[in-house]
């Protein structure tokens, strides 16, 4: 049994030997005494421990680790209300001590931040439990908290390693892409990005621009597939005064606005043949005619193009000009679907949840093992964008610290594969599932019923998984 659990067990079993007066804050500080063995245990664990009475939440005990973490001595903390002393960002809204007081049940691994004596925010993980008298009435609440500063530091180091250019991935394919992006960015070659919708082509285009010599100039983006061809020409090339009825003055196009910067043309595979000819002329001669103009304009914009279709296949089908494809295809970068880089899902989940909750000024949440199981075993036709939407839906519905399966969109639950349908030996997916089961079994100390319930599977399915993955 971990030492902090042993300490809580000792307090519970020896509560009759512990002085717990409901009016302690009115007594001399030396009036509160824990018996010697209990004090010795609590003062020799690395977790912070403090006890409050249940009437007005005044602190009656603070162990050595709690004094170190908070910066307050026992004398400074005694008799003060815990929420006045530590000022956590959840104290008055969703206090774990209140939960324990109201339900009588312990709270485990509640993550928040306290403000120590010097004013520094300290990330902590909190567990609370009730202390009862001989009649079963709650007299006090004990809270054990663990300093997560080192864990947060490691998380930042880890995130820095796998988050480059605002793109999160530890996939070998994406890591290779990260390595070559600086070289690609410093070339003057036209770039073609291929990948399904939602794979992050816009982020890669932005990264290339920010790494290029044009980084101090404008990055202009346009979705060529979302604009009718008649309007696309005037958007890209601009128009001269009098070109049509409402043309009261000259209007510069995006090629002119992006001059000396970067122009990102998304979904070029949807352009008509007629417009492809005009784009080819701009790429080859760096000049174009605004609509209604008699003299050409020039541009020095760096061109990045993207398509959610395979342009080479379109060429074979006669839907895309071969000469334009060769002009665009000087450097081609292909972005994988999310289903082909599932090792990134836990990273993306943490990143998106932090982004979503911080935008709403709420503490970050974690996902349950059952939720992670669902997320890992879905093919994401909408790719990364779909994953973010799923998590935003869950964060809106979840009012607790942990996102559960019933917070996920119903259509996603229906489409995601059930645990009984998982296939063994599927590389990353196989290892991710085994790791989740191992962690859940460890959390519940080998209890199969509780583990199966949290994972959202039956005991018989869990038993088969344990044999399948050779987990003891």
Q: What is the pLDDT of residue 160?
A: 63
Question: Tokens 């890209």 label which residue?
Answer: 236
User: How many residues are given for the chain?
Assistant: 472
Q: What is the pLDDT of residue 158?
A: 61
Give me the average pLDDT of each 10-residue run along the chain (472 residues): 45 43 37 58 82 84 88 86 71 75 81 82 84 85 85 67 82 91 92 94 95 93 89 89 76 92 95 92 90 88 94 94 94 94 91 86 79 90 95 90 88 70 47 75 81 78 79 70
Q: How far is CA 64 from CA 39, 123, 127, 131, 463, in A?
A: 10, 18, 17, 20, 44
Q: What is the pLDDT of residue 32?
A: 42
Q: What is the pLDDT of residue 121?
A: 83
Q: What is the pLDDT of residue 400?
A: 80
Q: What is the pLDDT of residue 155?
A: 67
Q: What is the pLDDT of residue 21?
A: 37
Q: What is the pLDDT of residue 78?
A: 86
CB 394 within 8 A of CB 375: no
Q: What is the pLDDT of residue 128?
A: 87
Domains of the chain: 3-147 (3.30.450.20), 158-336 (3.40.50.300), 340-468 (1.10.8.60)
pTM (2 decimals)?
A: 0.63
Q: What is the pLDDT of residue 89?
A: 57
Q: What is the pLDDT of residue 425?
A: 41
Calpha distance 395→383 (Å, rounded): 19
Sign (positive or negative) of CA dihedral 381, 384, 388, 394: positive
């Amino acid at each position: 049994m971990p030492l902090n659990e042993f300490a809580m067990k000792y307090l519970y079993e020896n509560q009759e030997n512990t002085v717990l007066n409901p009016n302690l804050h009115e007594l001399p500080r030396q009036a509160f005494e824990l018996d010697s063995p209990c004090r010795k245990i609590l003062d020799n664990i690395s977790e912070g421990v403090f006890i409050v009475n249940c009437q007005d939440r005044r602190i009656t005990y603070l162990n050595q680790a709690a004094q170190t973490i908070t910066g307050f001595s026992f004398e400074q903390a005694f008799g003060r209300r815990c929420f006045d002393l530590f000022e956590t960002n959840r104290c008055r809204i969703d206090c774990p001590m209140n939960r324990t007081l109201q339900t009588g049940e312990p709270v485990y691994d509640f993550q928040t931040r306290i403000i120590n004596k010097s004013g520094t925010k300290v990330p902590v993980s909190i567990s609370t439990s009730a202390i009862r008298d001989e009649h079963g009435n709650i007299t006090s609440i004990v809270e054990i908290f663990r300093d997560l500063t080192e864990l947060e530091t490691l998380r930042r180091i880890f995130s820095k390693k796998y988050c480059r250019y605002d793109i999160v991935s530890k996939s070998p394919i994406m890591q290779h892409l990260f390595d070559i992006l600086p070289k690609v960015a410093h070339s003057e070659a036209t770039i073609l990005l291929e990948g399904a919708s939602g794979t992050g082509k816009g982020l890669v285009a932005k990264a290339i621009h920010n790494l290029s010599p044009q980084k101090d100039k404008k990055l202009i983006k346009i979705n060529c597939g979302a604009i009718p061809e008649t309007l696309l020409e005037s958007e890209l090339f601009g128009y001269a005064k009098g070109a049509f009825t409402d043309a009261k003055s000259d209007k510069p196009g995006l090629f002119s606005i992006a001059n000396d910067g970067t122009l990102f043309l998304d979904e070029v595979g949807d352009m008509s043949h007629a417009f492809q000819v005009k784009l080819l002329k701009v790429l080859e001669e760096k000049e174009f005619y605004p609509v209604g103009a008699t003299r050409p304009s020039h541009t020095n914009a760096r061109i990045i193009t993207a398509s959610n279709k395979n342009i080479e296949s379109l060429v074979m089908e006669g839907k895309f000009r071969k000469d334009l494809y060769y002009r665009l295809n000087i450097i081609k970068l292909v972005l994988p679907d999310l289903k082909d880089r599932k090792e990134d899902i836990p990273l993306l989940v943490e990143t998106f949840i932090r982004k979503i909750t911080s935008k709403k000024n709420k503490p970050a949440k974690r996902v349950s093992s059952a939720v992670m199981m669902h997320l890992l075993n879905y093919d994401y036709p909408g790719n990364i964008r779909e994953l973010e939407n799923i998590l935003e839906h869950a964060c809106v519905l979840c009012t607790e610290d942990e996102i559960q399966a019933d917070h996920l969109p119903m259509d996603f639950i229906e489409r995601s594969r059930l645990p009984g349908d998982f296939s063994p030996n599927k590389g990353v997916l196989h290892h991710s599932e085994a790791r989740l089961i191992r962690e859940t079994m460890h959390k519940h100390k080998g209890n199969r019923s509780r583990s199966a319930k949290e994972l959202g599977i039956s005991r018989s399915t869990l038993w088969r998984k344990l044999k399948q993955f050779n987990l003891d």
